[in-house]
Chains A and B, each alone.
Chain A
Amino acid sequence: MSQLLNIYYGDMPEAVFNTEVFFKNSYADEWIVDDFSKQMIADVDKSCVLGTGVIDSPVLGKIAPERLSGGVKTLMLIKFMPEMVFNASTCGNNCAKWLLQIAADEDRTVNLRNIMNFGEDPFELKVLNTGQVVHSMRELLPIAIEYV
Chain B
Amino acid sequence: MRGSFEVLVSSRRLQYRFTIRRNVTVIRGDSATGKTTLIDMIQDYNENGIDSGIAIKCDCKCVTLGSRNWQRDLRELENSIVFLDEGRRYVMSQEFAEIIRHSSNYYVIVTRERLENIPYGVDEIYGIRTSGKYGELKQSYHEFYRLYENIPYGRQGMNPQKIITEDSNSGYQFFIGAFEDRECVSAMGKSNIASLVAGFSEPVMVIADGAAFGPEMERMTEIMKVRKEIYLYLPESFEWLILKSGLISRENLQAVLANPAEFIDSEKFFSWEQFFTEILTESTRGTVYQYNKKKLAPVYLHEVSKAKILLQMKPFLEKIGW
Is A145 touching B13 in the complex (CB atoms < 8 A)? no
Check B32 against A44 for contact (C-beta < 8 Å): yes
* B294 part of interface (Cβ distance < 8 Å): no
Give the interface residue-count category, chain B.
Answer: 20 to 34
**Known contacts A19-B87, A89-B113, A145-B195: A115-B219 contact under CB 8 Å:** yes
Q: Whole-angstrom distance between the alpha carbons of A89 and B115 in the complex?
A: 13
> Inside 8 A of A117's CB, which chain B residues have their CB?
222, 225
- Say yes or no for A59: interface residue by CB 8 A criterion: yes
Interface residues on chain A, size class = 35 or more
**B71: Cβ under 8 A from any A Cβ:** no
| Bound: A46/B32 CA distance, A | 8
Which residues of B lie under 8 Å from residue A136 when comparing CB positions?
226
Contact across chains for A90 and B86 when beta carbons are under 8 A apart: yes
Whether the Cβ atoms of A59 and B222 lie closer than 8 Å is no
A113 touches B112 (CB 8 A): yes
Output the least CB separation between A41 and chain B (Å). 9
Residues of B within 8 A of A44 (CB): 31-32
Interface string of A39-62 (1 = CB under 8 A from B): 000001110000000000001110
Q: When the two chains form their complex, are residues A145 and B113 in contact, meaning their CB atoms are under 8 A apart?
A: no
| A65, CB-defined interface residue at 8 Å | no
Q: Which residues of B contact A59 (CB under 8 A)?
A: 13-14, 34, 130, 140
Q: Is the CB of B223 within 8 A of A145?
A: yes
Selected from A46, A67, A92, A141, the residue in CB contact (under 8 A) with B222 is A141
Contact partner, A17, options B34, B87, B219, Cβ 8 Å: B87
Cα distance A63–B274 in the bound complex, in angstroms: 46
User: Assuming A114-B114, A115-B219, A137-B222, is B32 touching A146 (CB within 8 A)?
Assistant: no
With a cutoff of 8 Å between Cβ atoms, the chain A residues found around residue B223 in the complex are 141, 145
CB distance from B241 to the nearest CB of A (A): 27
Contact of A21 with B32 in the complex, beta carbons under 8 Å: no
B262 interface contact, C-beta 8 A? no
Instruction: List the one stretch of A30-38, A68-76, A77-85, A123-131 in contact with chain B.
Output: A68-76
Count A/B pairs, Cβ under 8 Å.
87
Q: Is the CB of A91 within 8 A of B87?
A: no
Contact check, A115 vs B36: say whether CB atoms are below 8 A apart: no
Contacting A61 at CB < 8 Å: which of B13, B32, B35, B226? B13
- Measured between alpha carbons, how far is A121 from B269 in the docked complex, in Å? 44
Contact of A114 among B35, B89, B218 (CB under 8 A): B218
A69 touches B218 (CB 8 A): no
With A45-B32, A113-B113 as known contacts, state yes or no: A18 contacts B87, CB within 8 Å. yes
Min CB distance B309 to A, Å, is 31
> With an 8 A cutoff between CB atoms, is B73 at the interface?
no
| B251 proximal to A (CB < 8 A) | no
B235 within 8 A of A: no
B-contacting residues of A (Cβ < 8 Å)?
Answer: 17-21, 44-46, 59-61, 67, 69-72, 89-95, 113-115, 117, 136-138, 141-142, 145-146, 148
Given contacts A59-B14, A60-B37, 17 further A-B contacts (CB under 8 A): A17-B89, A45-B31, A59-B130, A59-B140, A60-B13, A60-B14, A61-B13, A67-B37, A70-B86, A71-B31, A92-B29, A94-B31, A95-B31, A113-B112, A113-B113, A142-B195, A145-B195
Q: 10 A-B contacts, Cβ less than 8 Å apart?
A: A60-B37, A70-B31, A71-B30, A90-B87, A90-B112, A94-B30, A113-B112, A113-B113, A145-B195, A145-B198
